[in-house]
């Protein structure tokens, strides 16, 4: 197989993984929606280039760890069929990594959005028409996106609970 064909295949598999986690993991979709709204607010706030870089580095940390968390959960589920404390610990530790990165990201955001004048100005812009109307109009599609469809693993488990 040629180098370029192999490279294209690698990208194909990576994008397939992104599509899979977006379809099946509600927490991943929640993270994407949060990133969207914070990005809109950051635009109004007026971050400089370095602040944007810091924000995006911390933003990327959470979904990346969520992908690793899901991969670990799926791998453990394949390998361990019965209750096993080590399997539970592996899943809990992977989830803890996501939680820890989320907490750090909130702390970073508080530091980035700490200038009172800029914060008040951004809030003023955010809560005045037409921006408020646009933001409100995005809430319903964001909710539908977060809720997910038939492929969402959370929806499947809720259906199974309801059938019993």
Q: What is the pLDDT of residues 3-48, one digit of tens each?
A: 999 999 999 999 999 999 999 999 999 999 999 999 999 999 999 9
For 58-84, the DSSP string reads HHHHHHHHHHHHHHHHHHHHHH--S--
CA atoms in the 13 A half-sphere facing the CB of 25: 23
Asked if residue 123 has pLDDT above 60, the reply is yes
Residue found by looking up tokens 């959470």 in the block: 62
Average pLDDT, the chain: 89
For the chain, the DSSP string reads --HHHHHHHHHHHHHHHHHHHHHH-HHHHHHHHHHHHHHHHHHHHT--HHHHHHHHHHHHHHHHHHHHHHHHHHHHHHH--S--HHHHHHHHHHHHHHHHHHHHHHHHHHHHT--HHHHHHHHHHHTSTTHHHHHHHHHHHHHHHHH--TT-HHHHHHHHHHH-
Q: What is the pLDDT of residues 44-76, one digit of tens each?
A: 999 999 999 999 999 999 999 999 999 999 999
Asked if residue 131 has pLDDT above 80, the reply is yes
Ordered structural domains, the chain, with CATH: 28-126 (1.10.287.3610)
- Is 66 an annotated catalytic residue? yes
Task: Given the residues 66, 73, 82, 115, select the one marked as catalytic.
Answer: 66
* Residue percentage of the chain with pLDDT more than 90: 74
Whether the model clears a pTM of 0.85, i.e. scores above it, the answer is no
Asked if residue 150 has pLDDT above 70, the reply is no
pLDDT category at 156 given cuts 50, 70, 90 is low
């Amino acid at each position: 197989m040629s180098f370029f064909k192999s490279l294209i295949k690698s990208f194909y598999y990576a994008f397939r993984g992104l599509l899979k986690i977006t379809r099946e993991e509600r927490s991943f979709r929640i993270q994407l929606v949060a990133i969207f709204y914070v990005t809109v607010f950051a635009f109004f706030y007026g971050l400089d280039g370095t602040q944007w870089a810091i924000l995006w580095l911390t933003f990327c940390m959470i979904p990346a760890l969520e992908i690793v968390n899901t991969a670990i959960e799926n791998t453990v589920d394949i390998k361990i069929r019965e209750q096993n404390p080590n399997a539970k610990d592996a899943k809990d530790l992977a989830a803890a990594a996501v939680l820890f990165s989320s907490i750090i990201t909130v702390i970073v955001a508080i530091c980035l959005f700490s200038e009172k004048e800029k914060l008040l100005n951004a809030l003023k812009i955010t809560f005045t028409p037409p921006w408020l109307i646009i933001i409100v109009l995005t809430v319903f599609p964001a909710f539908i996106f977060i809720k997910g469809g038939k492929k969402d693993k959370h929806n499947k488990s809720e259906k199974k609970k309801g059938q019993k």
